[in-house]
Structure 1
Amino acid sequence: MRKTVLEVLGLHRSYGGVRAVDDVSLTLAEGRSLGIVGESGSGKTTTARIIVGLERADSGRVLVHRRDRTERGRGRADRLARAREVQMVFQDPYLSLDPRMPVATVLRETLRLHFPGTDHERRIAELLDQVGLGPREAAALPRQLSGGQRQRVAIARALAVEPAVLVLDEAVAALDVSVQAQILNLLADIRAATGIGYLFITHDLGVVRCVTDEVVVMRRGRIVESGPTAEVLARPRHPYTRLLLDSVPVPGWDPRRIAAARRAL
């Protein structure tokens, strides 16, 4: 029986009169991968940002290893400890990397902040090797790297603090298909080696099918279906899940039929 690493209990978040997150609950076990899927505006990214701590819920709780993260950390040490628990990788890593810093410096600054007094140079080499990068990339600026290489740097930086949960928000959506496959294979290898838990936020059912063990489907801030990924995608129970599956282009695909089905929901 795997230990539960993340528990989300009854999250609510509203903006004005709009309920962005409406009574969302989910769990993630150690070493497992959970997908949150839905269209734009479904509430999946807001849920992720609350879990990471970038936004606060109106109500509900987020627990990592049964420790409540709902209230703000008290003091610098507590805030750093919370940051180490859950890390996030964004869709566009270029926006989260300092364009003036070489890759090795980006990693070194993260390690200095969280682990002062340790052997940073050896750890930097380990992290780069873990994500398939080497000395040439270590000396490069973000603008000198490809999109896939920048995403590898973002993953390495997130892994540097040894998080229990890694949240990936559309982390491969901006990459070419072949590069997507490389990054997804890399993430699978890292999960197998470390036992980290993944939370994939995506609209791409192909990504969900490839890299998640379980999935929750969100619509208008609520979870409408959840379960093992293979089961949900093979035998969807909710009309919205079926609509998402039908929206994937295949030979004979008719976008007008999909639009009509969406209006009918």
Structure 2
Amino acid sequence: MPEITTDPPRLDVRGLTRRFGAFSAVDDITFSVPVGGSLGIVGESGSGKTTVARLVTGLDTPTSGTLTIDGHPRTPPRGKAQRLARARQVQIVFQDPLQSLDPRLSARQALRETLHLHYPGTDRPARIGELLDQVQLSARAADARPRDLSGGQRQRVAIARALAVRPRILVLDEAVAALDVSIQAQILNLLADIREQSALTYLFITHDLGVVRSVTDDIIVMRHGRIVESGATDAILSRPSTPYAQLLLASVPGPGWDPQGALEAHRQA
């Protein structure tokens, strides 16, 4: 595990709010993540967690509140150079890489295009080789187009493309939700290894408390746009203090899991 520092935080969010008319998708939330840290943001669909991801990445603009990276405010960019600089701060990996990968480009071509955009004139073949090794993607898979790859391979390509610009923060928005359990484990182990080898900070967005144990230090649990519980990952996974967090944890399939009981608990929550 990389050494974690807290002054200043890699990511610091204070009073972040995003309203759409009278509806608050995110309502006055505050959290911070240290350099090399990993925070899970957990909640069911509609809890506001994906809106947080969009605000952090700059895909959306907050109604109020502040967001800083390494002590510097994250403000709207002016011009192409500033947009690219912001993109190099924060990268995002989505649930469905088919929606974000160009279907015409192989993994190798996608990485070459990304590097050309951000670092024109660099030794791209060497860097591409490093990235492919980092995400454990074979040469054969690297030369295939997205439609010819498995779900796990496509997600490795998406991760490699995000890492290409050496971001400070990697946002993972339900990045393993569409994968089989065995492939989920492979991608989570890969992410844990990448984090251990670098000072990369993770913001892991998920509806499933069961997938965050291996890749996060802390968790915040969101419901209706607000934080209802926060703390160390191990503490919340073993002793959730709020009924909503208890419900989320009870909904994770395991030995003796009762789906009907989980549904009834959801109705009563």
1: CA distance between counterparts of 2:195 and 2:256?
37
Q: Of residues 224, 235, 240 in structure 2, which corresponds to 1:236?
A: 240
Q: Give 4+ residue runs of structure 1 displaced > 6 Å after superposition.
A: none
Distance 1:105 1:22, change over 3 A: same
For 2:5, give the aligned amino acid: R
Partner of 2:106: 102
Following superposition of structure 1 onto structure 2, how do residues 1-265 of structure 1 map, counting pairs within 5 Å? 2-3=5-6, 4-69=9-74, 71-250=75-254, 253-265=257-269
User: Structure 1's 9 and 78: CA in aligned 2 closer, same or farther, altered over 3 A?
Assistant: same
Alpha-carbon shift at residue 44 of structure 1 (Å): 0.3
CA distance in 2, matches of 1:253, 1:125: 43
In the alignment, the residues of structure 2 paired with residue 163 and residue 151 of structure 1 have an alpha-carbon distance, to the nearest angstrom, of 17
Cα RMSD, aligned residues only: 1.5
Query: Post-superposition shift, 1:146?
Result: 0.9
Q: Tell me, in whole angstroms, the C-alpha distance in 2 between the residues paired with 1:97 and 1:140.
A: 12
Structure 2 distance, partners of 1:117, 1:187, is 29
TM-score, normalised by the number of residues in structure 2: 0.94
Q: 1:181 to 1:78 in 2, by over 3 A?
A: same
Q: Does the 8 Å CA contact 2:41/2:206 hold for their aligned counterparts? A: yes
Q: What's the CA shift string for 1:40-90, capped at 9, x where partnerless?
A: 000000011100000111011111111111x31012111111110000000
Taking the aligned partners of 2:253 and 2:183, their CA distance within structure 1 comes to: 21
Q: Residues 136-167 of structure 1, C-alpha deviation per residue, up to 9 Å, x if partnerless?
A: 12221111111111100000000000000000
**2:95/2:173 contact within 8 Å kept:** yes
Name the TM-score, length of structure 1 as normaliser.
0.95
Moved more, 43-52 or 23-32: 23-32
CA displacement 1:118-144 (0-9 Å, x = unmatched): 101110111001111132122211111
Q: How many residues align?
A: 264
Which residue type is aligned with residue 34 of structure 2?
Answer: A
- Give, in whole Å, the separation in 2 of the partners of 1:253 and 1:179: 21
One-letter amino acid of the structure 2 residue matched with residue 234 of structure 1: S
Task: Give distance in 1, aligned partners of 2:245 and 2:146.
Answer: 38
